[in-house]
Chains A and B, each alone.
Chain A
Amino acid sequence: MRTLLAIAAALLVVTNVWAKPGDVDMGKAVYDQRCIWCHGVEGDGDSAATEWLNPPPRDFSSAQYKIKTTGFDDIVPNDEDIYRMIAKGMPGTAMPGWDDILSEQEIWDLTAYIKTFGGLEEETPSQQVDYGTPVPSSPESIARGQELFLDGERCSECHGEDGKGDSIKGLKDDNGERTWPRNLTKPWTFRGSNDSKDIYSRISVGIPGTQMPSFADPTSKKKLSTEERWHIANYVQSLAKIDEVVRAENTVVKADKLEGDLPAAVDDPRWQQTEASTFFLIPQMIGEERFFKPSNDTITVRALYSDNEIALLLEWDDRTRSIPGDEKAEKISDPEIAEDAVAIQLPIHIPDGMEKPYFGMGDAANTVNIWHWASGTTEKPESVALLNSRGFGEIERREPAQVRIQATGRYEKGTWRVLMKRPLLTSPADQDIQFLEGEFIPIAFAAWDGSNSETGSRHTLTTWYWLLLKPASGNKPLITALLMAFLIAGLLFWWARGASSPKERSQDGNG
């Protein structure tokens, strides 16, 4: 066993040693099979996929690499930077990690070949990022990082006060493509990972080709020492909204029961005591006009109910408050600006068996209720609509007041929070969902970012999840458990007593 391990270790060392120099011709063979589809035969990012992807595939002929760890004014990346992007991919983009189907050697070969597109094959980087002395994360370091983040709007100028990338600036990259500052509360969208060392690298090098500058540049007014950059990296890492991360196993929005009235405001503190469920929003690619470049990516849902009402709180990050008619909002929006909006979809009946309405707005045999809230324009206030749908083309508009649906939203620092309410039961009962305690009710969501040309069928959505009005479990489990405990304890003591009494023992022996 030990020798086997030693051989394996030796092999690993050996492969690492000769793996590094990539072979350009071998790399081309892999490239032509795996990469041309997006990055194009010529490596210039011109392919069938280019206009469908956001961000677009990298143009290697530009010789510009966004995620690199060489000096900020050095265009040449390290081979390891390219290797890593291929092996691990770029979160939040269409670039997957390839290390599960390509060998280490193949990735080094690809690295060598990709460099030839930009004429980098002979180049070696002249400088490396100076990591100084890494500062481990601590409350003090995070606090210092926050100060530096906000100081003179150093980072908040683009990333916003709370780091949600919501600052109102129309940013464009060197190619004139619209870019958005990263929402720093969503670390799973960081292209180069949210490891503090990686965040440090981005702060130090910037992101070449975009408006993210280098804070190591001594000529910059906002420049930072190595230590200060570690503080900011620690602060950025601390911004992650851990409680609003998608957990794949959580498919049920659980509504807690409240006595008395339900919250009427989005910031009612009682919402914070409920369990939040977060789901991925995906672009609508299924019917009518298909949509491929969404800006909203997740939605967080909370629910509460009382004896006669249910309330849902929908929360999602949106960098822009889209107000048609508002000059400032229109300036940073992609035309044509529309209202921001959100919708809840529910079947009109709780399904008997497994069958549900088609998740894309129902089907001929199964109608769905859609509660649709829109944020309003300069001319009209926020509004709520009630639709009964039997598929994309079969939508009936109804009067929301008839079933007393209410909705109200508030936009704050890059986040929309919308509260929707309805009585548990309606009359008549056949056109609307009747919310019953303890039943699993299918529920789906949709969102529109009006500044991202999202209207009509161009929007993001979720597939079916579940809503459960958590039944009060009562004290039956507790009472049964106590009864069991007493029963067992009684039996045990009876046994012990019997065993220690000499009289009984002798009787046992005779029997």
Chain B
Amino acid sequence: MKIPRLLQAVGVIVGIYAGFVLVFDYLLGQVIPSSLLSMYMFFVIAGVFMVYTFTEESARELVAPIKALVEDPSKKRIRNVVFILIPLLVAGFTYQRMSPSFEAPVELRSIHPAPPATVKAYGKRYDLATLKNPFRKYEKAKPEKFRELVREGGDIYIQNCQYCHGDKLDGRGPYAAGLNPTPLNFQDVGTIAQLQESFLFWRIATGGPGLPKEAAPWISSMPVWQDFLTEEEIWKVILFLYDYTGRRPRSWEHE
């Protein structure tokens, strides 16, 4: 049986739409933004329309069922149904669009803001471009001492940081769900692996309130750790973060 061309065209459009949703939302797990989807579908519909109306005959064939619906007296009943349904759909859509949604305002904040050139902490000024982890050198020079420092860093982490960043360093500690913004996931390749150790020192020592405005310091729950930990303790925790996740800090030097 030959499928009417109008049905074919609608089928193609719906199929492509379902394909987008299937691939992005389900297979890739990345929900496709509705604005992007609308744009794609605009081109899809335009394309399908062009293909199906390429010749005059094909165009006539495409609109034939619509014409028949409007003109053919034998289709009176179905015409009445369609003519009631369409205005209702339009009304429903308009109503939904115009009703206020009460959704929370979107807050855009920078997750990795650009670090300042210098940082004040522990009553001193640090130059972030040259600041180094004083313990990093032991990794090659004295591996045993290094292991010990990592171990000490782990103990500091578990006493202070796991509540939010988690035992697995995945940002899903026992209280993480109560925080907004959510704690950083150190296992993710996009976090500490992209940063220098001096950046981490800055973020830990001065905490949420030390963030620049574009990063919304007023909502960050990161404590100001210079109030609770010594400088050395912060450096040891940083060793632990990289060691446990198997990531390497970013560095200017070529290794």
Which residues of chain A have a CB within 8 Å of any CB of chain B? 33-34, 37-38, 47-49, 52, 92-96, 98, 100-101, 246, 248, 251-252, 254, 279-283, 285-287, 290, 292, 354-359, 363, 366, 440, 462-464, 466, 468, 470-471, 473, 476-478, 480-482, 484-486, 488-489, 492-493, 495-496, 499-500, 505
Contacts and interface: CB of A to CB of B under 8 A. Distances in A.
Contacts of A356: 218-219
B16 to A, nearest CB: 23
A354 B216 contact: yes
21 contacts: A98-B168, A100-B168, A251-B180, A252-B104, A281-B178, A285-B163, A285-B164, A359-B221, A462-B178, A466-B104, A481-B91, A481-B92, A485-B88, A486-B87, A489-B84, A492-B86, A492-B87, A495-B70, A496-B83, A499-B71, A500-B71
Contacts, number: 153
B98 interface: yes
A280 B174 contact: no
B206 interface: no
Nearest to B155: A48
Interface string B92-120: 10110011101111011100000000000
Contacts of A499: 67, 70-71
B200 to A, nearest CB: 19
Given A488-B86, A500-B73, A282 B158 contact: no
B73 A94 contact: no
A258 B189 CA distance: 51
A495 to B, nearest CB: 6
Given A48-B156, A280-B178, A492-B87, 19 more contacts: A37-B157, A38-B167, A100-B168, A101-B170, A251-B180, A280-B177, A286-B223, A354-B108, A357-B218, A463-B179, A468-B102, A473-B99, A477-B99, A481-B92, A484-B90, A485-B88, A486-B87, A492-B83, A505-B71
A94 B174 contact: yes
Contacts of A473: 99-100
Given A358-B209, A484-B94, A279 B178 contact: yes
Contacts of B187: 101
B65 interface: no
Interface residues of B, number: 60
Contact of B174 (A93, A354, A470): A93
A488 B87 contact: yes
Q: Which of A33, A357, A466, A496 has the most CB of B within 10 A?
A: A496
Contacts of A281: 178
B184 to A, nearest CB: 15
B247 interface: no
Q: Which of B95, B170, B172 has the most CB of A within 10 A?
A: B95
Interface in B147-171: 154-159, 162-164, 166-168, 170
A48 B159 contact: yes
B79 interface: yes
A286 B160 CA distance: 10
Contacts of B108: 354
A246 B104 contact: no
Interface string B201-226: 00000001100010011110101100
Given A354-B107, A489-B83, A363 B219 contact: no
B232 interface: no
Contacts of B244: 33
A48 B84 CA distance: 71
Nearest to B180: A463
B218 A363 contact: yes
Contacts of B168: 96, 98, 100-101
A231 to B, nearest CB: 33
Nearest to A505: B71
9 smallest beta-carbon distances between A and B, as pairs: A280-B178, A477-B98, A48-B155, A485-B91, A282-B178, A481-B95, A485-B87, A489-B87, A282-B175
B213 A355 contact: yes
A355 B92 CA distance: 37
A200 B234 CA distance: 47
A37 B155 contact: yes
Q: Which of A283, A485, A486, A505 has the most CB of B within 10 A?
A: A485
B94 A49 contact: no
A279 B178 CA distance: 7
B158 A248 contact: no
A283 B102 contact: no
B83 A480 contact: no
Given A358-B218, A492-B86, A246 B177 contact: yes
Contact of B227 (A37, A287, A471, A488): A287
Q: Which of A285, A366, A462, A471 has the most CB of B within 10 A?
A: A285
A358 B178 contact: no
Given A463-B178, A492-B83, A285 B162 contact: no
B167 A37 contact: yes
B228 interface: yes
Contacts of B83: 489, 492-493, 496
